[in-house]
Amino acid sequence: MRPIVSMTLAACAVIAIASPVLAQTPPPATPPAPPAAGGTPDVMPFDIPYGVSIGLDKAKQVMAAAENEAKRRNWKMNIAVVDTNGELVHFSRMEGAQIASVSISIGKARTAARFRRESRAFYNAFETGHGYVSTLDPTLVASPGGFPLLDAGKLVGAIGCSGGTGDQDALICKMGADLMK
């Protein structure tokens, strides 16, 4: 019993001696600031005015530019061009393109048209932990490869590509979108 009492007294002595040292520890510097919420921008982001929806002839030209680049690289793609509402105007499924990518390409184009920005913006939001994006629209496709189509600074539609990696899809769509500039 004596050893237990001795050990208890020794432990209490250590605590009593260390208490003033611990009490003199300075408080930590100001706590870290919470992450910025983004602030309030002065102008509306992605405020692209709507123009007259893309017609079939122009949609075919956009499609041809994208398809030619995909063929040059030997990438089998599904390519969709939609109007300002996100409704399909023209579609091409290249020989051997992945069947699952048909609806994905249309969804990417629809997302780019309805939200007036590249579909990659939603992919980036998901990647940085902003899951709220999934609550915005049940048809939203958060993946690279959807580009708005602008004519004279106005949104006339969008192009969506799918069948490769996100970056491959985006590269092909950019070829079509660049034709409009």
pLDDT of residue 7: 59
Q: pTM of the full predicted structure?
A: 0.76
Tell whether 17 is covered by a domain: no
Crossing angle (nearest 10°) for helices 101-115 and 120-127 = 90
pLDDT of residue 43: 78
Q: What is the DSSP letter of 135?
A: G
Which residue range forms the structural domain that includes residue 148?
56-179
pLDDT of residue 126: 86
pLDDT of residue 19: 56
Of 88, 64, 94, residue with least CA distance to 158: 88
Bridge partners, 91 (sequence order): 80
Tell whether 163 is covered by a domain: yes
Listed in sequence order, the DSSP H helices in 39-165 are 56-73, 101-115, 120-127
| Residue ranges for the chain with pLDDT beneath 50 | none
The residue ranges of DSSP E strands in the chain, in sequence order, are: 78-82, 88-93, 146-151, 154-162
pLDDT of residue 8: 62
Of 110, 84, 89, 87, residue with least CA distance to 162: 110
**Total domain count for the chain?**
1
Q: CATH number for the domain including 148?
A: 3.30.450.150
For 45-57, the pLDDT digits (tens) are 788 989 999 999 9
Tell whether 11 is covered by a domain: no
φ and ψ at residue 58, rounded to 5 degrees? -70, -35
Asked if 123 contacts 158 with a C-beta cutoff of 8 angstroms, the reply is no
